[in-house]
């Protein structure tokens, strides 16, 4: 990302803004490109397909489950690759296939209720734990607790501190973003209304007849911003997009403050299950479409219909996407993670993408059991490392491959995010990292993919890097169906492109070797992965 800064004077107030815009010469599909031919550290996808064609390889269909927030099942680039439960008759209100889930035609929603409602926002796990201990110690202090309560009291103080610091930090972020949001909110929506379009060019704005003096002043300020940044390739469209990003960020921050740190909100009531019954599996509903932006973007990266002359090309060409809702705007429940994995496995998924994570996992045991169940059934788990620029060798990001018995799940691959820049900014500034906890990096900055309502745009995060790996894994398994999860992981990690340069450690100005940020020091490469798979096949 390039940082564009500018001053603008409006009504006598001078304000400094930072405008993030995508590098001018970075193609939308950069993550699919090849470093040798395009000078961009993409995954060399076209070369991979050419190699498969050269060897006359044919693909087999693969089901990839996307455990996420939801999916736009009607998207033009997603609908043709949507998983359909052929054993279920849509809309008859019956459990035709006998799996316990009524009308699960396209997947399942573990954060929905029988009445059709769904959780969209939820508290953080740390908030839930603080609330639990607060109930126990509400009217107690260190002088009034018993010896038997000492350990629980320490936990109470720990989560109280986490809750208060997190809430204060979020409030501070809202305050920092508010001035920028309010400025652009006063500037752009009135001009959008005057032009009659949400996105407009400078030419269209100049041609618009404006009689209102205040509105004409806003137009002048809008052009002043463009003119002062003309050397940085700032356009009207980019400025409008920046406003939309600022507005979305503010909405997200406000929602997080309202729900993530609420001690009164009980979103689980919508589901109606017994959250303390960790063995309960049959709950939720069949509506996988709620809050679908994140899951739609992730799914498109993996397998948006290729070569259909619309939208984007996904990575894998013979994949169906099975959507499973388990992720609200907040922290997912361990119970929903475990049941989501089991549902995916039981319904034929061979790869499960998990672009979510949290700091605490009070019921990790049931998630571990689901992970081992997936391993037993030959299912690969792909997990995003997280976006807190944390060293996850020392700080946990759950769910994790490290099981409670101190073994590491062999069917698990942990993914950090890389950028399009072949310099010190190669690792994404937000990406978690770890020499022992992260397996490999994959493109995760400004990834262009599907969004709800037949839209397309860029998003960044390890949430985008994980589906790049899931897509390559699906490509491998589709053309080499005999491969086990462990063999796929071996091929991906061995064939990745190694980088030995010094880079900025995510979240700091400290220089480190890129090779120190993960087990492999590599970025995934589809061409090299296919090449290695072919070599292994020839040696048999």
Alpha-carbon gap, residue 532 to 519, rounded angstroms: 19
Tell how strand 351-354 and strand 380-384 pair up. Answer: parallel
pLDDT at 538: 82
Alpha-carbon gap, residue 418 to 172, rounded angstroms: 28
Mind listing the pLDDT tens digit for each residue in 320-377? 999 999 999 999 999 999 999 999 999 999 999 999 999 999 999 999 999 999 999 9
Q: Which string of DSSP letters, residue by residue, matches 125-188?
A: HHHHHHHHHHHHHTT--TTT--GGGHHHHHHHHHHHHHHHHHHHHHHHHHHHHHHHHHHHHHHH
Q: Has residue 15 got a pLDDT over 70?
A: no
DSSP secondary structure letter of residue 305: P
Domain boundaries, the chain: 33-121+278-538, 127-260
**Mean pLDDT value of segment 458-468:** 97
Mind listing the pLDDT tens digit for each residue in 394-432? 999 999 999 999 999 999 999 999 999 999 999 999 999
pLDDT at 170: 96
pLDDT at 229: 83
Question: In 3D, which of 229, 163, 204 has the Cα closest to residue 17?
Answer: 229
Q: Has residue 62 got a pLDDT over 50?
A: yes
Q: Which string of DSSP letters, residue by residue, matches 368-384?
A: HHHHHHHHHTT-EEEEE
Number of Cβ within 10 Å of residue 313's Cβ equals 18
Q: Has residue 24 got a pLDDT over 70?
A: no
- CA dihedral over 300, 305, 307, 308, signed as positive or negative: negative
**SS3 state at 507:** coil
pLDDT band at 540 (very low <50, low <70, confident <90, very high): low
Stronger pLDDT, 110 or 238, i.e. the higher one: 110
pLDDT band at 8 (very low <50, low <70, confident <90, very high): very low
Q: Has residue 36 got a pLDDT over 70?
A: yes
Alpha-carbon gap, residue 252 to 365, rounded angstroms: 31
> What top-level class would CATH report for the domain 33-121+278-538?
alpha beta
pLDDT at 222: 95
**Mean pLDDT value of segment 496-509:** 96
pLDDT band at 25 (very low <50, low <70, confident <90, very high): low
Q: What's the mean pLDDT when you consider all of the chain?
A: 94
Q: Please name the residue that has the structure tokens 């052929």.
A: 86
């Amino acid at each position: 990302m390039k940082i564009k800064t500018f001053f603008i004077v409006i009504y006598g107030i001078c304000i400094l803004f930072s405008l993030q815009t995508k590098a001018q010469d970075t193609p939308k599909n950069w993550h699919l490109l090849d470093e040798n031919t395009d000078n961009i550290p993409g995954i060399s996808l076209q070369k991979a397909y050419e190699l498969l064609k050269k060897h006359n390889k044919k693909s087999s269909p693969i089901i990839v489950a996307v455990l996420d927030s939801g999916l736009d099942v009607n998207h033009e680039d997603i609908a043709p690759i949507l998983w359909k439960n052929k054993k279920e008759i849509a809309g008859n209100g019956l459990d035709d296939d006998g799996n316990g889930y009524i009308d699960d035609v396209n997947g399942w929603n573990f954060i929905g209720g029988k009445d059709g409602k769904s959780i969209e926002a939820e508290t953080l796990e740390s908030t839930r734990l603080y609330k639990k201990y607060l109930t126990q110690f509400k009217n107690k202090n260190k002088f009034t607790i018993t010896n038997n309560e000492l350990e629980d009291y320490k936990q109470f103080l720990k989560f109280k501190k986490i809750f208060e610091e997190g809430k204060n930090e979020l409030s501070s972020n809202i305050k920092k973003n508010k001035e920028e949001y309010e400025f652009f909110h006063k500037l752009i929506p009135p001009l959008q209304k005057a032009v009659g379009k949400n996105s407009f060019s400078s030419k269209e704005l100049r041609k618009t007849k404006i009689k209102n003096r205040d509105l004409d002043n806003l137009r002048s300020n809008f052009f002043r911003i463009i003119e002062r940044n003309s050397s940085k390739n700032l356009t009207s469209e980019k400025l409008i997009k920046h406003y939309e990003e600022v507005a979305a960020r503010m909405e997200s921050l406000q929602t997080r403050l309202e729900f993530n740190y609420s001690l009164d909100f009980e979103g689980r009531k919508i589901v109606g299950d017994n959250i303390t019954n960790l063995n309960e599996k049959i709950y939720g509903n069949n509506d996988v479409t709620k809050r679908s932006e994140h899951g739609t973007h992730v799914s498109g990266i993996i397998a948006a219909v290729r070569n259909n002359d619309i939208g984007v090309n996904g990575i894998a060409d013979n994949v169906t996407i099975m959507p499973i809702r388990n992720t609200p705007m907040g922290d997912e429940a361990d119970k929903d993670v475990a049941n989501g994995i089991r549902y995916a496995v039981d319904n034929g998924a061979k790869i499960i993408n998990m672009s979510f994570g949290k700091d605490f996992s009070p019921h990790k045991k049931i998630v571990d059991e689901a992970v081992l169940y997936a391993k037993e059934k030959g299912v690969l788990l792909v997990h995003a490392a997280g976006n807190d620029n944390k060293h996850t060798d020392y700080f946990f990001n759950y769910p994790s491959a490290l099981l409670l018995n101190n073994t590491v799940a062999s069917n698990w691959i942990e993914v950090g995010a890389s950028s399009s820049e072949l310099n010190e900014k190669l690792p994404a500034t937000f990406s978690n990292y770890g020499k022992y906890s992260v397996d490999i990096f994959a493109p995760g900055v400004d990834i262009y993919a599907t969004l709800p309502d037949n839209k397309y745009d860029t998003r960044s995060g390890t949430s985008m890097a994980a589906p790049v790996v899931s897509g390559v894994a699906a490509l491998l398994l589709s053309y080499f169906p005999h491969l086990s999860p462990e063999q796929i992981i071996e091929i991906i990690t061995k064939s990745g492109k190694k980088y030995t340069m010094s880079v900025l450690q995510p979240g700091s100005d400290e220089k480190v070797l890129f090779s120190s940020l993960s087990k492999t020091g590599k970025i995934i490469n589809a061409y090299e992965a296919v090449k290695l798979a072919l070599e292994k096949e020839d040696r048999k």
